[in-house]
Structure 1
């Protein structure tokens, strides 16, 4: 998927999505691969750079951390936050780096959006080399993500199957057997396949819906959107605390693999 976000959308992603969801994911990803001082780390489809920033705190001054992304607005935010790191424009399916350039190649919440997932995984394996490791973290199954399943059920009632399919694109590589097969077929030997339940944490159901209904913004008329919001107040109630904040559960897969020698 090739797309460009506006500067405003990139800032919104950093201020809202990162603390709500992706900062916790990044910590788990980096802790699982155990980044150590002096390592060279690549963050593929880095977005605004939360994985790279988290890794850089552990790799230290002796390490090298690089983030690569197609979105120039995302990279602009990443550079603003951490100008000391290297941020590079590039395609995950044709990484602009030499063979075996990195000790660790990480990618979070990107694989499902790549135009050629197999090519992207093979590129990650190439730049890691046989002594490196590749770690990919993605949303799991919609059916195993209670908060998002509740949202999808409401959307299906009011906006139809096509709208649910748009929301479901986020979970496109969530079937464990299919994800395992994809990684294997790319020439990577799986060492860790960890499935865990995270949550998107926001201050209210309204904020959650403002974020999660963005892919449908141009497809929902006001009346349909209002009905979805009203029904979601009931459907999402099990995930709302006494203060009105929501923690919508979402399944996550974390795969760590090594490139197979040729």
Structure 2
């Protein structure tokens, strides 16, 4: 599996990601990822492509003062926000294709909602295997395929009609690793033993469909690639296609299906 989209964002966009994406979506998945990985007291944990650090922060609560948590990300904007939120944790700039850590440095390597963005996903998994100790764990969370998304499927279709190839490339990339069979085969190809898989139906919770649209657009490079008129059409279209998931107060609870995979590193 490979992708060509580059998701570099500014500090301002990273702040939007932390303020909007994290409470609306990713805070639900970080405990599930730590659960399937078996993160526990005293472990050394790496959060790969950590973004603003929600998985790292969740892991830090579990490993306690005797453990160690490190977040690594290619994007300095994301790391700037991560350092602001949790200055006590270690944050490193680095490429998943060449992680800046010695072999066997961690008990657990986590990767939440990021595998689909890596240019070479197999190479990235092999790097996670390298930096995890023999017998350690690599655990992933990814969104399920777009055709399994009752809310995001119609939203992305609408956004692509409004914005064309810019939206297709960026919003389509999220779902690229969503076939669980293909994903498990990919993990096994990295010389990992798949030990557990879960499929979870979560919720993307927003004050309104327009807020979901704003989060998707402003939390990614798409905001810099479309006109104000196109952006307005996407926000208006979101009100229509997401109406089935809006409650009496106007709040949007959009179902979001995803997969979690845990795998054991050879040896140990």
Same fold (TM over 0.5): yes
Aligned to 1:258: 264
| Structure with more relative contact order (C-alpha pairs < 8 Å, separation 6 or more) | 2
Q: Does residue 1:122 correspond to 2:103, yes or no? A: no
- C-alpha displacement at 1:3, in angstroms? 4.9
Q: Give deviations 1:86-132, integer Å, cap 9, x for gaps.
A: 11111111111111111111011111111111111001011113220
Residue 80 of structure 1: aligned partner: 84
The aligned residue for residue 241 of structure 1 is: 247
Structure 1 residue ranges without an equivalent (≥5)? none
Tell me, yes or no, if the aligned pair for 1:2 and 1:70 is still in contact at 8 Å: no
Q: Secondary structure at the match of 1:92?
A: coil
1:44·1:67 contact (CA, 8 Å) conserved in 2? yes
Q: Tell me which moved more, 184-193 or 28-37.
A: 28-37
**Is 1:204 matched up with 2:213?**
no
Alignment TM-score, normalising by the size of structure 1? 0.92
- Equivalent residue, structure 2, for 1:104: 108
Tell me by how many angstroms 1:181 deviates: 1.4
Does residue 141 (structure 1) correspond to residue 145 (structure 2)? The answer is yes
| Alpha-carbon distance, 1:248 to partner | 1.4
1:44 to 40, 48, 54: 48
Q: Give the whole-Å Cα distance in 1 for the aligned partners of 2:228 and 2:90.
A: 43
Render the CA deviation track for 1:20-53: whole Å, top value 9, x for unaligned: 1011110111122232111110100011111011
Please, which runs of 5 or more residues in structure 2 have no aligned partner?
none
- SS of the residue corresponding to residue 171 of structure 1 reads coil
Equivalent residue for 2:62? 58
> Is 2:77 the partner of 1:95?
no
Residue of structure 2 aligned with 1:16, choices 6, 11, 20? 20
User: Per the alignment, in what secondary structure is the counterpart of residue 76 of structure 1?
Assistant: helix
CA RMSD across the alignment: 2.0
**TM-score, structure 2 as length reference:** 0.91
Aligned mates of 2:33, 2:238 — CA distance in 1: 31
Aligned to 2:35: 31
CA distance in 2, matches of 1:44, 1:251: 21
- Residue 238 of structure 2 corresponds to 232
Residues 1:216 and 1:67: Cα distance change in structure 2 (over 3 Å): closer
Q: How many residues align?
A: 262
